[in-house]
Amino acid sequence: SRLAQERALLFLTFHNPILMTDVLTVKDGPVGIVTLNRPDRLNAWTRQLQSELFDALEAFDHDEDIRVVVVTGAGRGFCAGADMDMLNSISASRGDSISGSQSREQWSAPQPETRSFLMAQQLSKPVLAAINGPVAGIGLAWVLTCDMRFANKAAKFSCAFSKRGTVAEWGTSFLLPRLVGTGNAMMLLMSSDIFLGDEAVRLGLVQKCFDGDVLEQTVAFARRLAANVSPVSMAVMKRQLWNHPRMEDQQALRESVMLMQSSVTPQNSDFKEGVRSFIEKRPAAFKPVSHDNPVIVTAKLLIPDGSKL
């Protein structure tokens, strides 16, 4: 049950913490779970929450024991968007006053974070969003940067920007059309209408939605990936899928062929283990990513941000 899982989360966090306040982290075997932890504000986005979220993602990406990362929200929401106190402070400030200038500098969400808002895409491990409740505005923009999204059927989605007098913020102008098409992106962004999990799946925004506990279902899927799939394959496929659609077809094809050639060699231990386990009819026992793996070496040379693999 959700209650039992939250109790387990608190217990594991006490015994295995990364010291944070707005974000909780738990290592569940090979799965790293990150929980946005401002439940009294529906996990509304702040500068501190973003900084702690990015810290947690980086820590799990560097942890060899972790193969997949899941992000969810505490309480009944995932992230209701930017904190309204922050937005109210900005809107109440006079643009030509010293106090107004200071207010924008202090509150502009999220300032002065220097890491890319697209950080989840740049990590070597899959980042899955388990959307347990309302997600809007910058919260929705951020889940678009995740590799996969799963949601509760009752979860409410909204872009929200047009109803606050702003624009398609934080990359939604290019991330959302890639997922749902230009027409649907126009409809969602301009209307800021609220829609539910089933509609999110129909649009292609979410991969699956569930009646029950979405965190439990998402972690179960993450465990299957961790148990059955090569971490090298996941790391390189992730780079390919985020970068190749932005390239010309022939360039993407050339890179795919070169990566394939580097993968189908005896020097690729994951390839050897994948074939051997299939022949021997047993589960594969893939090791953590080795930076000497020929696929990783090739990816670092070819793919933008490949150096971070």
User: What's the pLDDT tens digit per position in 80-100?
Assistant: 988 755 554 544 554 543 344
The answer to whether the pTM exceeds 0.85 is no
Contact present, 209 and 201 (Cβ < 8 Å): yes
What's the confidence (pLDDT) of residue 113?
67
Interval 248-258: pLDDT, tens: 899 889 888 88
Helix (H) or strand (E) holding 72: strand 68-73
Query: Residues of the chain with pLDDT > 90: what percent?
Result: 46
Q: How confident is the model at residue 166 (pLDDT cuts 50, 70, 90)?
A: confident
For 212-233, b where at least 16 C-beta lie within 10 A, e where not — what string? ebbbebbbebbbebbeebbbbb
Residue bearing the bigger pLDDT, 44 or 7: 44
Interval 101-122: pLDDT, tens: 444 444 444 456 678 889 899 8
- In angstroms, the CA 140 to CA 213 distance is 20
Helix boundaries (H) for 118-171: 119-122, 137-143
What's the confidence (pLDDT) of residue 288?
85
SS (H, E, C) 256-269: HHHHHHHHCCCCCH
Interval 23-75: pLDDT, tens: 999 999 999 999 999 988 889 989 899 999 999 999 999 999 999 999 999 99
Give yes or no for residue 216 having a pLDDT over 60: yes
